[in-house]
């Protein structure tokens, strides 16, 4: 299997590369320190699996959708939050592996993904299954629900910020989190979701 590693910590990349060299079926064909370099790098160096860190110099959730066209994406992360795992899978990642796991677990995850399945740590699977059965709106905070309501009523970010007495930047941050939680791409998708799930009523 041809593997690319994307992580902004050089020591982690070097350590992982050394471990993968000991695996007869694995070959590291590319590595990336910056998120912006991944897509053009994969175009030059095709691979089967991309091992992607979520905590790079910018959030990589938005990048996953484009990257899955080039390789099977497995998120390798130190963050063990269910919300992050679900957001990555919704964006198109095929697996989630925690950095504390042994190389043997990573190899199992890669084989599973290349066989056409999704892989996640056992301790996450039950919680993820529960979340996936529930409406995504359940995961929204009270403030996020209020922002959804205001956007659905047609208010712009600046107007929402003034109404809630927060900065426009804070509203944008909340909206990015809301998009990830609800699996929508933009404000139009958010409004449609809000109407379908009755999120326009005052809390």
Q: pLDDT tens for residues 127-166?
A: 666 655 555 556 788 899 899 989 988 899 999 999 999 9
**27 and 66 both lie in a single domain:** yes
Domain membership flag for residue 79: yes
**CATH of residue 9:** 3.40.50.2300
pTM summary value: 0.66
- DSSP per residue over the chain, as a string? -EEEEE-S-HHHHHHHHHHHHTSTT-EEEEEESSGGGHHHHHHHS--SEEEE-SBSSSB-HHHHHHHTTTSEEEEEES---HHHHHHHHHHT--EEEETTS-HHHHHHHHHHHHTT--B--HHHHHHHHHHHHS-GGGG--HHHHHHHHHHHTT--HHHHHHHHTS-HHHHHHHHHHHHHHHT--SHHHHHHHHHHTT--S--
Domain membership flag for residue 202: no
Is the confidence at residue 10, as pLDDT, over 80? yes
Is the confidence at residue 72, as pLDDT, over 90? yes
- How many domains is the chain built from? 2
Stronger pLDDT, 198 or 2, i.e. the higher one: 2
**CATH of residue 145:** 1.10.10.10
Q: Which of 25-29, 87-91, 173-177 has the highest mean pLDDT?
A: 25-29
Beta-strand pair 49-52/2-6: parallel
Domain membership flag for residue 123: yes
**11 and 105 both lie in a single domain:** yes
**117 and 37 both lie in a single domain:** yes
Q: What local confidence, expressed as pLDDT, does residue 198 receive?
A: 76
Segments forming the whole domain that contains residue 16: 2-132
**141 and 126 both lie in a single domain:** no
Domain membership flag for residue 22: yes
């Amino acid at each position: 299997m041809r593997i690319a590693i994307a992580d902004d910590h050089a020591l982690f990349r070097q350590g992982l590369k050394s471990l993968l060299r000991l695996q007869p079926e694995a070959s590291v064909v590319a590595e990336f320190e910056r998120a912006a370099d991944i897509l053009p790098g994969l175009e030059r160096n095709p691979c089967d699996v991309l091992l992607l860190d979520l905590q790079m110099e910018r959030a990589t959730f938005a990048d996953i959708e484009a990257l899955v066209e080039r390789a099977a994406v497995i998120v390798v992360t130190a963050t063990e939050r269910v919300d992050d795992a679900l957001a990555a899978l919704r964006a198109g990642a095929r697996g989630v592996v925690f950095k504390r796991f042994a190389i043997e677990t990573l190899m199992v995850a890669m084989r599973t993904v290349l066989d056409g399945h999704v892989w996640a740590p056992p301790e996450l699977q039950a919680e993820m299954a529960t979340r996936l059965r529930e409406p995504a709106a359940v995961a929204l905070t009270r403030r996020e629900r209020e922002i959804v309501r205001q956007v659905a009523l047609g208010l712009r970010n600046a107007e929402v910020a003034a109404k809630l007495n927060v900065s426009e930047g804070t509203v944008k941050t909340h909206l990015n989190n809301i998009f990830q939680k609800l699996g929508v791409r933009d404000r139009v998708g958010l409004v449609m979701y809000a109407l379908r799930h009755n999120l326009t009523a005052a809390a």
